[in-house]
Amino acid sequence: MKNLLKLGVITVFSSVMSLQAAEFESNVALSNDYVWRGMSQTSEEPAISGGFDIAGDSGLYFGTWASNVEFGDGAALELDWYAGYASELENGFSYDIGYLAYTYPGEDSLDFEEIYLGLGYSYFGYTFSSGQDGAPDNSEISVALGDTGLGFTYGDYDDYGEYTLISYDLPVSIAGLSVSLAFSDFDAEADGADEDTFLITFSM
């Protein structure tokens, strides 16, 4: 599986120069906590994040995203880099394959990489992230309840635990900002490391 994913990513990158008619999108968000795969990355303190994406009509895309973090070590920033290829077939089936690097300036020992494959149909999605060079794999299933703004995500992160996220995107904006509410539950493989968190995020 990992070799097939690597081959797909190499194929994508070899044609990256064909990216034409590219569209640029940016985002910024403020949340009471940065929770990733069920685990707080800011010691349950507020987080500000943002990034940008460049995508072409061919389906190729690349981008970067950053957030403050707090692990009690030298890392204060997470800086991610990613690139991939995404498309949707005429029958509504979609797929997304790409490469993602997590970097932590000031604490390089935390850096790791993943190759991911995402599949989707209608309101259902599945993503498998293959950790590279010994990093753990992650499997994630997501369901969007129609156009209600409600969503459900379940994930299994090898060596760490299982997580559940229930989210709701409010149908109104506040001062031009989108607002989402969520509840995150993490069941760790190690005893005594479970986390339950309520999240509120303002984004644009």
List per-residue pLDDT tens for the chain, 204 residues long: 544 444 444 444 444 444 556 899 999 999 999 999 999 999 999 999 999 999 998 999 999 999 999 998 889 999 999 999 999 999 999 999 999 999 999 999 999 999 999 999 999 999 999 999 999 999 999 999 988 999 999 999 999 999 999 999 999 999 999 999 999 999 998 776 789 999 999 999
SS3 state of residue 148:
coil
Strand residues in 132-194 grouped as ranges (E):
138-144, 150-157, 161-174, 177-188
Burial profile 127-142: b = 16 or more Cβ within 10 angstroms, e = fewer:
bbbbbbeebebbebeb
Among 58, 110, 109, 65, CA closest to 84: 58
Among 195, 202, 156, 201, CA closest to 176: 202
Q: Which two tokens stand for residue 155?
A: 């994930």
In the block, residue with structure tokens 């997470």:
78
Structurally, how many domains does the chain consist of?
A: 1
**3-state SS of the chain: helix, strand, coil percent to 5?**
10, 60, 30
Residue 108, burial from CB neighbour count under 10 angstroms (0-12, 13-18, 19+): exposed
The pLDDT value given to residue 20: 56
- CA distances (Å), origin 145, targets 118, 165, 167, 169: 19, 13, 10, 11
Q: Which two tokens stand for residue 92?
A: 């509504």
Q: Which domain holds residue 81?
A: 2-203
The pLDDT value given to residue 9: 44
| Angstrom distance (rounded) from CA 111 to CA 137 | 15
The pLDDT value given to residue 190: 79
The pLDDT value given to residue 1: 52
The pLDDT value given to residue 7: 45
Phi, psi of 3 (to 5 degrees): -65, -40
CATH of residue 172:
2.40.160.40
| Contact (CB, 8 A) for 45 and 70 | yes
The pLDDT value given to residue 83: 98
